[in-house]
């Protein structure tokens, strides 16, 4: 059957019909392929510590700092560029061809990470190759989402686009859950690998498994035909010859791009990354829950909440996309702080009790205090007494309040009724300074434990049902903002520039605003001392999205997308 006959076959279907065999294949192939791409993309985030140890050892502190930032940020930063490159191809050449290419690029890049030699073998070439492959992953993901969402939406019957495209929205969460599950299984002693072997060579296994996923994804996608909407444009000669110029160089289209970004995507992005990735980070780093327990609790919450992507996609076909997305943003802005404070009480009640009954205060001259954000340890934080104090508390992940002191004051920590004065770095140097700082940090740790600050969350004290319930609520907010958004973005833009127009704002929002949220949130916490301070970022962005969306964002669920 030719592509034209396929297009005619779809156009002959009634607008409201049961999903056909071809439509089910389209949803399955598009969704599974996107799940595999998200799986590939998230592996680095889950294995960052191990990969850094394998690829960044032996570098001087400056080079190590730069390379670690590049590896971390490269995949997120290049996603909008992938959206531009593949969006243009998708609007000019076709949807099907483009997301076959993106799957191939992502799958091969991820598989090759599992084959890379380490720094110990090839030196600085190892982290360079890792950065390059990470960038290819980001480029592929930048082109994947818009293609899959557009392709499925252009096959969906009227009145069911929200439901059909919500299968695409499940994929990011499913990819994260699949990556978590495979990493847990491979590093478990039950599989015969174990933790030590996993750190040595077993970390490669999840990457190599992606080769199998690539084969399955390609096999499914090669069965697909071009979307009827694009095929009709191609046959009639009405497809765009300059999609980038039309999408972003003409105000009537650029205006829609800006409204979509500020009135929907920005809030969706920060809610998504806070509810899933930052929540996992918060459990492990701030609440000191061990990694295996934290990952298991999150997987349970994800499994319980994932069907709601479909529910809110279906509901958006009935009552509209806008009100569901903005309601999710509003709920997030209003409840994020109480939700994470409740998470602290449930996951680490001893920590919550200590925060309430033995608050920690830092007395220091603000002019001597630098930001404690240092993800790779390039800064020693030993040149001022304030930095020594804050570094000790940052390593302990302790919540504290800043109290300004006059210039010349040696910084100190007040824990309940006890005050510990930091060593004066101007009066000691060399080994003597290192010994003084080490003794100070040891005393701080001892005094914190004395008043009830735990070094780790007690597994027996974790209220697991409540933790899962809170995590479920956070992911439920994700399903509200994310479930309907693919259908809305498809409906906002004309078909001739749809792939390009929706991909770029989506990936700027999710790649930059959302993807860098954990780093930004941690930087805010490190600079301020309040473990909840980082949530101001998603709260403010979500609240702003509500206001802008209410005023400017149109409702789209009754629109035709054939124009």
- Show the CA angle centred on residue 500, arms to residues 498 and 501, nearest 5°: 65
| Mean pLDDT, range 221-226, rounded to an integer | 76
Which of 191-200, 210-219, 367-376 holds the top average pLDDT?
210-219
Count of other CB atoms within 10 angstroms of residue 403? 12
The reported pLDDT for the residue numbered 75 is 78
Q: What CA–CA distances, in Å, run from 186 to 192, 198, 255, 548?
A: 8, 7, 48, 45
Out of 9-18, 56-65, 310-319, 365-374, least confident range: 9-18
* pLDDT per residue as tens digits for the range 153-181: 888 888 889 999 888 888 878 888 888 88
User: For 430-560, where are the E strands, in sequence order?
Assistant: none
The CA distance from 146 to 505, in Å, is 10
The reported pLDDT for the residue numbered 127 is 84
Fold match between domain 1-239 and domain 353-450:
no
Which DSSP state fits 410? P
Q: What is the CATH number of domain 353-450?
A: 3.40.30
Q: What CA–CA distances, in Å, run from 498 to 104, 237, 308, 317?
A: 22, 16, 26, 20
Ordered by start, the domain boundaries in the chain are 1-239, 242-348+457-563, 353-450
* pLDDT per residue as tens digits for the range 230-273: 677 667 666 667 777 887 888 888 999 999 999 999 999 999 98
pTM of the model: 0.83
The CATH topology of domain 242-348+457-563 is Growth Hormone; Chain: A; (1.20.1250)
Q: Would the pLDDT of 135 be above 50?
A: yes
The CATH topology of domain 1-239 is Growth Hormone; Chain: A; (1.20.1250)
The CA distance from 193 to 202, in Å, is 7
Which DSSP state fits 18? P
């Amino acid at each position: 059957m030719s592509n034209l006959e396929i297009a005619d076959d779809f156009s002959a279907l009634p607008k409201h019909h049961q999903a056909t065999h071809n439509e089910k294949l389209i949803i399955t192939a598009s969704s599974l392929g996107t799940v595999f791409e998200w799986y590939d993309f998230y592996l680095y985030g889950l294995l960052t510590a191990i990969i850094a140890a394998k690829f960044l050892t032996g570098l001087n502190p400056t080079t190590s700092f730069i390379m670690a930032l590049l590896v971390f940020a490269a995949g997120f930063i290049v996603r909008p560029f992938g959206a531009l490159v593949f969006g243009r191809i998708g609007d000019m050449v076709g949807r099907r061809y483009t997301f076959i290419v993106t799957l191939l690029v992502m799958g091969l890049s991820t598989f090759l990470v599992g084959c890379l030699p380490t720094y110990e073998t090839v030196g600085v070439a190892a982290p360079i190759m890792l950065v390059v492959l990470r960038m290819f992953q980001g480029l592929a993901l930048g082109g994947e989402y818009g293609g899959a969402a557009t392709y499925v939406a252009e096959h969906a019957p009227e009145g069911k686009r929200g439901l059909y495209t919500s299968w695409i929205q499940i994929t990011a969460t499913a990819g994260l859950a699949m990556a978590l599950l495979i990493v847990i299984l491979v590093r478990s002693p039950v599989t015969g690998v174990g933790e030590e072997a996993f750190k040595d060579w077993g970390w490669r296994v999840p990457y190599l498994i992606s080769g199998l996923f690539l084969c399955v994804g390609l096999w499914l996608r090669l069965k697909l035909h071009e979307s009827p909407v694009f095929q009709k444009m191609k046959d009639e000669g009405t497809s765009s010859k300059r999609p980038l110029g039309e999408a972003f160089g003409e105000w009537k289209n650029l205006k829609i791009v800006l409204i979509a970004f500020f009135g929907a995507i920005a809030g969706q992005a920060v809610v998504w990354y806070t509810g899933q990735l930052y929540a996992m980070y918060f459990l492990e780093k701030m609440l000191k829950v061990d990694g295996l327990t934290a990952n298991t609790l999150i997987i349970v919450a994800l499994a319980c909440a994932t069907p709601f992507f479909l529910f809110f996609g279906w509901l958006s076909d009935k009552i509209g996309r806008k009100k569901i997305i903005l309601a999710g943003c509003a709920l997030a802005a209003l409840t994020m702080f109480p939700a994470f404070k409740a998470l602290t009480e449930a996951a680490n009640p001893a920590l919550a009790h200590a925060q309430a009954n033995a608050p920690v205060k830092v007395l220091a001259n603000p002019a001597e205090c630098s930001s404690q954000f240092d993800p790779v340890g390039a800064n020693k934080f030993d040149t001022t007494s304030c930095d020594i104090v804050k570094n000790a508390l940052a390593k302990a992940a302790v919540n504290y309040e800043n109290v300004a002191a006059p210039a010349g004051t040696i910084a100190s920590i007040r824990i309940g009724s006890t005050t510990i004065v930091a060593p004066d770095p101007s009066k000691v140097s060399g080994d003597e300074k290192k010994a003084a700082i080490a003794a100070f940090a040891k005393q701080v740790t001892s005094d914190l434990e004395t008043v009830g600050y735990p070094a780790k969350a007690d597994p027996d004290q974790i209220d697991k049902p409540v933790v899962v319930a809170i995590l479920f609520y956070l992911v439920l907010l994700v399903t509200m903002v994310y479930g309907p958004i693919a259908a809305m973005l498809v409906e906002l833009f004309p078909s001739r520039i749809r792939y390009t127009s929706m991909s770029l704002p989506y990936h700027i929002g999710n790649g930059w605003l959302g993807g860098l949220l954990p780093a930004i949130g941690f930087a805010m916490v490190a600079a301020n001392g309040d473990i909840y301070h980082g949530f101001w970022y998603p709260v403010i962005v979500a609240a702003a999205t509500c206001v802008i969306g209410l005023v400017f964002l149109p409702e789209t669920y009754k629109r035709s997308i054939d124009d």
